[in-house]
Structure 1
Amino acid sequence: MICSTACQLSNRSMRRVALDSARKAALVAGVFYLVTFASSIPAVFLLEPVLDSPDYVVSAGDDTSVIWGSLLDLVNAFACVGTAVALFPVLKRHGEGLALGFVTSRLFEAAVIAVGVVSLLAVVSLRQAVASGANAEPLVGAGQALVVVRDWTFLLGPGTIPAINALLLGYLLFRARLVPRIIPILGLIGAPLLLMSATLTMFGSNTQVSVLSAVATLPIFLWELSLGLYLTFKGFKPVPVLTGQESGRVVSGGLG
């Protein structure tokens, strides 16, 4: 009788620890998701001076705006990695291969964003060199080329990889029922739309600023925003694997 009571207390304690750990992971991941919105959206407007001006290198420029926008893009990149790192300990219990794939895709997205940031900061350096008396003619072309590099990093990073993230994470969350299923469904619907839009843009049949791009991006936007809000304010649903009530079934490891 004493042993049975002790075992029950121990199990309750373990379930409480597991739930607390999952709640902390959900909160951190949710906050990081919201940070990606809070950083990436203002960055779009702050970077307009360099992205929309072919002669930025020889213009008066607005280096302060571009630098702040670049810093916000870096914050976005770190927050992308943060979401994956925070979620991995929970996700790996439901499919370690897919969870690792999600972490990898987030790291790749962050790396591509960082390349774009370096490109724009290099344009700022070129403009400052021209202002200091350097020969402007060759630097104008170099500046335009660096902006083109940034445009491609935006397409291949934030414009494409979120679809891969949605397929991996959305499937895991849908299967594990860690959040209301409507949330991952948004991601699973939006992923092929975003991939189609990005592919058409790569081949010149679409542009990054078009009605098609906006429509294709909307489900992914809603998926990430709703996931961030839900994880921040609600956390994961208490499924058996989180409460420690699973009965001898190994759910981590593999893709199944």
Structure 2
Amino acid sequence: MMVVTFVTSIPAWFLYAPVRDNPDSITGAGADPTTSVALGALLEVILIVANVGTAVVPYAIFRRYSQGLALSYVAARLVEGMFIAIGLVSLLAFLFVRQEGAATDPALGGVFVAIYERAFQIGPGIFAGVANGMILGSLMYRSGLVPRGLALVAVIGGPLVTASGIAGMVGIVERGSALQGLATIPEFVWELSFGIYLIVKGFKPSPIPAGADDGAAREVPPRSAP
């Protein structure tokens, strides 16, 4: 499921470009962006489902190592998905207003695009680092379900993404700057590597700590991957 988040989120960003780069088109001017935005919206609906699935499906496994971290991961992914949905609805509303010919002020398009961009900033821009980096990375390092060297990439990358997202939100750095791009590299490597690792090898056998879940020291089957 982690790989699904890649193959849906990245194309959606580019498919939204006709609206994101030309908010004045809400008045009906220029090429019709309906097909492009509608396809991007469909991909993001799949993305939301995959985001939630990456936390809910393996929850029974994760809670054996830390119920607090497992619950926190589910909550963070739900918050991220909520902000993705807000951005998605904003751009669909843009299309509706354009198709109805209800917009006479091009500034209205800028409002819808601004809502999308701010929702993206908080959701994927901040909470992805919290969920997939800090929480999931800590859980994987603690459990040993994946190589700890790989989990360390998440532990480093998550705070970098979150810090750069907050810095962009409050205006310390320019949104979409090269600095923000560099900060996302470790998180990008972690998420892609984690998804591929689970497809190829699955979780490593790892003893459950005494006192976790029902207290029995067991091993997680190596193919128990989300």
User: TM-score, length-normalised on structure 2?
Assistant: 0.89
Q: Residue 42 of structure 1 aligns with which residue? A: 11
Secondary structure class of the residue paired with 2:66: helix
Q: Residue 252 of structure 1 aligns with which residue? A: 213
Q: 1:54, CA displacement in angstroms?
A: 2.5
- Aligned counterparts, 1:226-237, within 5 A: 226-237=193-204
2:159 paired with 1:188: no
Distance 1:90 1:66 in 2: 37
- Aligned counterparts, 1:97-136, within 5 A: 97-130=68-101, 134=102, 136=103
Give the one of 209, 234, 248 matched to 2:176.
209
Secondary structure class of the residue paired with 1:126: helix
Q: Residue 82 of structure 1 aligns with which residue? A: 53
If asked which structure has higher relative contact order (CA below 8 Å, sep 6+), I would say 1
Look at both structures and tell me which one has the larger radius of gyration over its CA atoms. Answer: 1
Q: 1:199, CA displacement in angstroms?
A: 1.6
Q: Is the 8 A contact 2:72 2:135 kept in 1?
A: yes
Give the one of 170, 173, 198 matched to 2:140.
173
1:59-100, Cα deviation, whole Å (9 max, x unpaired): 232211011011111111110001001121110000101100
Secondary structure class of the residue paired with 1:93: coil
Distance 2:195 2:184 in 1: 17
Q: 1:42, CA displacement in angstroms?
A: 0.9
Distance 1:76 1:208 in 2: 23
Secondary structure class of the residue paired with 1:206: coil
Q: Is the 8 A contact 1:34 1:225 kept in 2?
A: yes
Q: Residue 114 of structure 2 aligns with which residue? A: 148
Q: 1:176, CA displacement in angstroms?
A: 1.1
1:38-66, Cα deviation, whole Å (9 max, x unpaired): 11111111110000003121223221101
1:210-239, Cα deviation, whole Å (9 max, x unpaired): 111111111111111111011111111111
Q: Residue 218 of structure 2 aligns with which residue? A: none
- After alignment, is 197-206 or 151-160 more displaced? 197-206
Secondary structure class of the residue paired with 2:51: helix
State the AA in 2 paired with 1:204.
G
Unaligned residue ranges in structure 1 (runs of 5+): 1-31
Q: Is the 8 A contact 1:50 1:61 kept in 2?
A: no
Distance 2:5 2:143 in 1: 25
Q: Is the 8 A contact 1:102 1:169 kept in 2?
A: yes
Q: 1:119, CA displacement in angstroms?
A: 0.2
What percentage of aligned pairs have identical amino acids?
42
State the AA in 2 paired with 1:239.
S
- Runs of at least 4 residues off by over 2 Å: 140-143
Q: Is the 8 A contact 2:130 2:159 kept in 1?
A: no
Which has more helix, going by share of residues?
A: 1
Give the one of 14, 24, 28 matched to 1:55.
24
User: TM-score, length-normalised on structure 1?
Assistant: 0.79
Q: 1:168, CA displacement in angstroms?
A: 1.1
Q: 1:163, CA displacement in angstroms?
A: 1.4
Distance 1:144 1:207 in 2: 18
2:191 paired with 1:224: yes
State the AA in 1 paired with 2:93.
A
Give the one of 73, 80, 85 matched to 2:44.
73
Unaligned residue ranges in structure 2 (runs of 5+): 215-226
